[in-house]
Amino acid sequence: MADTKEQFEKVIGICRDLFVKKLHDYGASWRIMRPASITDQIFIKAKRIRTLEITKESKVGEGIYPEFVGIVNYGVIGLIQLERGFADKVDIAADEAIALYDRYITATKQLMYAKNADYGEAWRDMRIASYTDLILTKIQRTKQIENLGGATLVSEGIDANYMDMINYSLFALIKLEYGDN
């Protein structure tokens, strides 16, 4: 598990670094997004990954790596928005946004460590395309929960689905960064 923790920290660092840089460039402009819009943004990224996996061709010269980074960051933004609600204007400073990012990525990472212990790192034997399909499935589940106004009978909530999407994306980033071993 030591390698897993080190690898997680590295790819989380890459995601966080991009989040901080975009926060500098755009501010917390994402605060105006409603959670359903964030889900759709994650859908766009996952759909592009799947298209690239199938066609093996990128018209804009970017691969799947930055899309998985985007899913991680939008997933964290989604968790923040679920807690805070959306705003009509940017209402948090960069340092507060970074603190919220760190809090939610830590909670998500702790969930992964707990599940990883139970599942014996099964994710390492999975294909990246399976993570993509699982993310797309989680998006559909999230959309259904959103359509139900969050009122589920037995299922986890939107937050759990965002966390799973983040963790599947981190698994993919680890495999892309380090290979299958």
Reference 74, options 38, 20, 111, 99; nearest CA is: 38
The answer to whether 167 touches 1, Cβ cutoff 8 Å, is no
Whether 169 contacts 68, CB under 8 Å = yes
Provide the angle, in degrees to the nearest 10, between the axes of the packed helices 65-84 and 2-26: 70
Query: With bands split at pLDDT 50, 70 and 90, how would you rate the model's confidence at 181?
Result: low
Evaluate if residue 108 carries a pLDDT over 60: yes
Q: Please check the confidence at residue 83 and state whether its pLDDT lies above 90.
A: yes
Tally Cβ neighbours within 10 Å of residue 82. Answer: 17
pLDDT in tens, 7-51: 999 999 999 999 999 999 999 999 999 999 999 999 999 999 999
Best CA proximity match to 80, nearest among 55, 45, 105: 105
Structure tokens belonging to residue 70:
């985007």
Across the chain, mean pLDDT equals 95
168 CB-contact burial (10 Å; exposed 0-12 / middle 13-18 / buried 19+): buried
Q: How many CB atoms lie within 10 A of CB 166?
A: 31
- What's the pLDDT score for residue 1? 52
- Residue 179 binned pLDDT confidence (cut-offs 50, 70, 90): confident
Nearest to 94, CA basis, from 147, 152, 157, 20: 20
